[in-house]
Amino acid sequence: MTATHDDRWWEGLGARTVRVDIDEARRASVRVLVSYAVPRSDAEITARHLVEGSVRGYPAHGLERLPQLVAMLHRGTLNPAPRRTVVRRSSALAVLDGDHGLGPPAAAEAVALGRSMARSCGVGVVGLRAAGHQGALGPWAEQCAGDDCFGLVVSASEPGVVAGQGTRPIFGTNPIAYAWPTGQGPVVADFSTAATTRSELLRRAETGDPLPPGTAVDGHGRPTRDARAALEGGLLPLRGDHKGVLLSLLAGMLAGPVVDGPAPHQVAGTRKPDTPPDKADFFLVINLGATTDMSVFQARSEALREVLACPDAGSFVLPGKRARRRSAAARREGLNVSPAVARLLGTETSQWQETRP
């Protein structure tokens, strides 16, 4: 199988798509990663998580990320077989070094470690440093939560967000995800701390669609709706005001110096394939049985859901339902991927159907 080792891995995100079978896409992703000397267990975790990101409706944090990972493996900036080690440890806190390897296997280890500490101590905090892109954070927060915990995950990324109308990106889009269990399925929120996601910026840069007002500046710090101009400038923080900067600062500190990672403006290796990943991720697991009675927690969560469902509460819907609907549709109909990803996966053409948006 062949691949294009192109810095501009995002090209094609808005082009016509190819319909793929989910199971075959996962198997093909494993084959691609194994061909670059990734151990099968790590390849399977990564492939499963990339597919899950696409299934939930986050393609740029799903299979569309595979060409970037391949480019990094090809260039040697991503370690195919890292030795992950716990470098700091107390009863309820640990720092895990990812040895510049793939993000999903390291995240899976961090989640397991956090849940283990939460079972014994009531809470588990894990900092993960020097691991690659984690993909969609929602599934990791959901795994942190399970059926008995509250989970929070924060991830750092290369600077792409300015502080106000500046011209120098300081923060990453640094997503935050959290989850908790309910009798009707988990509540899972996953959102960027920027005014829009970088994946949406990249998609619009490819299609030429304008950005929403108040989301980005160009290279001179001027407000712009031109996505390609915004790539030379930066995104604005969420809300575009001081409170948005404070949220970016919080995310950058938690997934950074708090867990022995770089400061937000120092993060590297999450966007371009020519630099090893040097960032941090933050995982928090709170054992609900240690802080409250689970039946009480469930009752209060259900009461909240009912209040939010009332007409006078507005149109807000507890997060997680839309992703579940998208997942159900993808499992019925298959996934749409860019032609570049379809070629990289290299599966039989009879199993792929070209579609148009």
pLDDT per residue as tens digits for the range 219-275:
999 999 999 999 999 999 998 888 999 999 999 999 999 999 999 999 998 888 899
Q: Is position 5 within any domain?
A: no
- Tokens 């948006």 correspond to 357
Contact (CB, 8 A) for 279 and 255? yes
Predicted pLDDT of residue 15: 55
* Domain contains 171: yes
Q: Mark whether 184 and 260 lie in a shared domain.
A: yes
Same domain for 163 and 257, yes or no, is yes
| 98 and 118 fall within a common domain | yes
Rounded to the nearest 5 percent, the helix, strand and coil shares of the chain are 45, 20, 35
Question: Are residue 188 and residue 309 in the same domain, yes or no?
Answer: yes
- Strands (E) in the chain, as ranges, are 17-20, 85-89, 93-101, 123-131, 149-155, 176-180, 187-191, 216-217, 234-235, 280-287, 335-337, 353-355
What's the token pair of residue 320?
Answer: 């997680």
Burial of 40 (0-12, 13-18, 19+ CB in 10 A): exposed
Instruction: Report yes or no on 327 lying in a domain.
Output: no
Dist. CA 339–CA 346, nearest whole Å: 10
**Domain assignment of residue 9, yes or no:** no
Residue 338 counted as domain residue: yes
Mean per-residue pLDDT over the chain, rounded: 89
Prediction pTM value:
0.91
Is the same domain home to 176 and 52? no
Strand partners, 89: 94
Instruction: Report the pLDDT value the prediction gives residue 230, as an integer from 0 to 100.
Output: 93
Domain count, the chain: 3
- The answer to whether residues 201 and 217 touch, using CB atoms and an 8 Å cutoff, is no
Predicted local confidence at residue 276, as pLDDT: 95
Q: Could you tell me if 189 and 311 lie in one domain?
A: yes
* pLDDT score of 243: 93
Domain that holds residue 130: 84-194+248-318
pLDDT < 70 stretches in the chain: 1-16, 347-357
Tokens of 183: 């009798």
Looking from the CA of 315 toward its CB, the CA atoms found within 13 Å total 0
Q: Are residues 56 and 129 in the same domain?
A: no
Cα–Cα–Cα angle for 68, 70, 76, rounded to 5 degrees: 105
Same domain, 158 and 132: yes
